[in-house]
Structures are given as structure tokens and as C-alpha cells.
Structure 1
């Protein structure tokens, strides 16, 4: 049995890219369960045969959409790292990126949180991919905290702020949770700021 991961083994074809873009939009709008492959094909401007040649099942398409989301998240983190000279600024940049996401009119919540809520109890693959994503978020924040001289438990708290902001923004349809989480993150990190010795 092939082990599913959030890192695709091959580059997307043009048809796959169209399919995952269409599926992502439809899953975001309606959830996964009500959406049919025919609806995805229609949104992607593909025939059903072209779609199923790219992704034979809806399960494969859901996995590909989650991989797409994770890839987008990792690219955003890489951009934040590249422009941040201080680890604390890097952490705050993550919440700035979340605020940008939440301000998008199409934002309906994190695909991993939504996917786990809708499918995780009956689909162990989706549950495992959601866990992998959350672990990757915390692992990244742990590395940033280490560079900033902050203990690992701070990264755990920051990860909770990230996920809590994602949930609350979807419920309230607001970008405010990102700003509140960013302020809380700054307060948490301030406990570990270097202070001059007297």
C-alpha cells in the first residue's frame, strides 16, 4: 500500500492543475461530500474522462487538494523566512500571512480543519494528512523559536494560536482573529526577550 504524504511524488499536469483548482473551489464552497466528479469536471472545463484520467477517484482528488494547500502554506513560510531578519518577526509574519488569507472573500477556513471535520472520522488517510500538516506547522515554529532562543513549548502555544485563528476566522468570517493571535504571540514571545544585565 502506498503511503500518502503531503508532498506529491510528481509535478501536476495541466489537467491535474485545473482539476485541483476547481475541486478546491467547490470543496471550499460546498464541502467535499456533496460535490460530484462531474461538477469538478465542469468547473475545470474538462470532460469527465479527462478528469478521471488525472484523478480516478474523488479520494485521490481530495488528497491532491490537501497537497496543494500544504504546498501553498510551505511556500508562504519560505517567503516569510526569506524577508525576516529576526525569528520573532518571522513568527509575527506567519500571523500577517494568515490575516491576508482571512481577508480573501473566498476564505471558508483551513482545508485540513474542514477536511478532518467532514471526513476524518471515516477516512484515516485524510485524518493522517491533517495530522501531518499540523505537525509540520508546529515543527516549523519550533525551529523558528530555537533560532530565537525560545523553548519548544512556546512553539506549541504559537501553533495553537495559528489553528485557533483559522477556526475562529471561518466561524466569524473575519480577519480579526489573525490580529488577536498576532498580538497574543507577541506577548508570549516577549517573556523570552533578552534583557540587559544590571
Structure 2
């Protein structure tokens, strides 16, 4: 069996992009389980056969949606890197990006957290993709901590701030958790900097 990853082997075709965008809209609004394959086809303006040709199963659509989200995350990190003066600014920039996401009227929580909660116990492949994304979040933060001359284990706390903000924003329907998490990250880095200054 081929191991699924968040890195697609090839780029989506136009039909696949249409299908995954439609699935993303519906899964975000309603969750995965209530949405039927036929619902995605109708929302995409495709026949069921056309949808099945693009993505043969509902699970394949879920994977495609998770890849869309992960791709957006990685593109955001690349953008933050090009607009930040140093690694600590990059770390804080992640929370600013989350604030933008949370402020969007269509935000209903992180697809990986929602997907794992809804499907993770019954679909180990979806659970594995969620775990891959969480590892990627922490790995990137570890890299930034190393570049900022902070111990790598600080990334574990920063990762918890990221994921906690994602969860709380979905519950509250507010962008405030991103600002609170950003303040927590700034305080953590400030305390560490003060201790190493002596």
C-alpha cells in the first residue's frame, strides 16, 4: 500500500482543483461525514462521473483538501520568511498569519484538527496526515528557534501555542486567541533572551 503524504506526487489538474475546492467549502461548512459525494459534485458543477474521474472516493477528496490546507500553510511560511528581519520576527509572524485566518468569516477551525477529531479514529491514513502536518509545524518552529539561538525544545511550547490558538479560535469564533498566543510567544522569547544575556 502506498503511504499517503501531504506532498502530492503531481500537481492537481484543473478538474481536480475544482473538485477539491468544492470539497473544501463543504467540509469546512458542514464537516466531512454529513457531506455526500453527490453534494461535492453538485457544488463543483460536475457530474458524479466527472468528480469520480478527478477523485475516485470521498477519502481521496479529504486527502486533497488536507493537501490544499498544508500547501497554503507552507506558502504562508515562505511569505513570512521573505518579509521578516530575523527568525524571532518569523515566529511572531506565524501568529499574525493565524490572526488573519481566524478573522476570515469562513474560518471554522483547522482542517487537520477538525479532520482528526471527526475521522482520525476510523481512518488511520487521515490521522497520519494530521500528525504529519503537526510535525511539520513543530519542525519549522524548531528550525526558527535554532536560527534564533534558542534551544530547540522551545519549539514544542510554540507549537502548542499555535495549535491551542487554532482550537480556541474555532470555539470562540474570534481572532483573539491568535493575539493571545502571539503575546505568549513574545513573552517566552523575551524571558529566554533576558536569561542568556547575563
TM-score by length of 1: 0.97
1:196 Cα deviation (Å)?
A: 5.6
For residues 131-178 of structure 1, the C-alpha deviation after alignment (integer angstroms, 9 at most, x for no partner) is: 000000000000000000011121100000000000000000000000
Whole-Å Cα distance in 1 between the matches of residues 145 and 95 of structure 2? 15
Whole-Å Cα distance in 2 between the matches of residues 75 and 114 of structure 1? 21
- Superposed counterparts of 1:46-125, under 5 Å: 46-125=46-125
Give the aligned CA root-mean-square deviation in angstroms. 1.0
For residues 9-63 of structure 1, the C-alpha deviation after alignment (integer angstroms, 9 at most, x for no partner) is: 0111111000110100100111001101111011111111110000000001100
Whole-Å Cα distance in 2 between the matches of residues 165 and 151 of structure 1? 22
Whole-Å Cα distance in 1 between the matches of residues 72 and 55 of structure 2? 20
For residues 85-137 of structure 1, the C-alpha deviation after alignment (integer angstroms, 9 at most, x for no partner) is: 21111000000000000000000000000000000000000000000000000
Whole-Å Cα distance in 2 between the matches of residues 96 and 43 of structure 1? 32
Aligned twin of 2:184: 184
Whole-Å Cα distance in 2 between the matches of residues 4 and 29 of structure 1? 25
Whole-Å Cα distance in 2 between the matches of residues 116 and 135 of structure 1? 14
Q: Would the alpha carbon gap of residues 188 and 126 (structure 1) be closer, same or farther in structure 2, given more than 3 Å must change?
A: same
**2:153 aligned with 1:157:** no
**2:141 aligned with 1:141:** yes
SS at match of 1:174: coil
Aligned twin of 1:43: 43
Whole-Å Cα distance in 1 between the matches of residues 82 and 2 of structure 2? 34
Q: Which runs of 5 or more residues in structure 2 are unaligned?
A: none
Aligned twin of 2:31: 31
Q: Would the alpha carbon gap of residues 174 and 6 (structure 1) be closer, same or farther in structure 2, given more than 3 Å must change?
A: same
For residues 63-90 of structure 1, the C-alpha deviation after alignment (integer angstroms, 9 at most, x for no partner) is: 0100110000000001001111211110
TM-score by length of 2: 0.97
4+ residue runs of structure 1 moved beyond 6 angstroms? none
